[in-house]
Structure 1
Amino acid sequence: MDVDTRGEFLQPYSEFEGSTEMVEKVKVVEQYQIENWVAIGDSVTDLNMAIAAPLVFARSRLSEYLDDRNKSYIPYDTFFDVRDRLAELWK
């Protein structure tokens, strides 16, 4: 993410900018060419990433969006919940 300051107004831009996101998180993850990655989110800005991810932790509005799309996820309240669940899964 960067900002162009040459004009009258500041203009943010990103090499990962997409049609609906300033930073397409899926594009960022694809650079690493990994199969098993985890998405953790709570809002619509995390939706595309959550849909693409093999494992998702969701709360708040993101969980509602994923329910509407029948995408499975693990609910969480705090990042301690995420940490503990990943420790169980990755034994």
Structure 2
Amino acid sequence: MDIRSTLAAQQYAASRQAATPTPQSEQSTNPFSTATTSFADTVQQGEKTAMAALSGNADPHALVQALAQTELAVETAVTVRDKVVEAYQEILRMPV
């Protein structure tokens, strides 16, 4: 066996292992993933409470509270989006 083919096989095995996706557990440590999941959960809970209030199964206080939480979550998401767009535009303005 040639030394070059052995090295190539070793490099292939190392790169194949590095390229395989790692399974993600239920508790992700990625803060962006956690934030988006929390945002989606808040919006879904607000929708469920609104539907329950429309059918008469929830009290108005719970509806107001759910709507306030949803509004805060949406405002936070919009603020983060604006900051990301602003940072991207600033990067585009940088001289090369």
Q: Tell whether the structures are fold-level matches, with TM greater than 0.5.
A: no
> Which structure has more strand as a fraction of its residues?
1
| TM-score, scaled relative to structure 1 | 0.22
Query: Per chain length, whose mean CA-contact separation is higher, i.e. which structure has more relative contact order (CA < 8 Å, sep 6+)?
Result: 2
| TM-score, scaled relative to structure 2 | 0.21
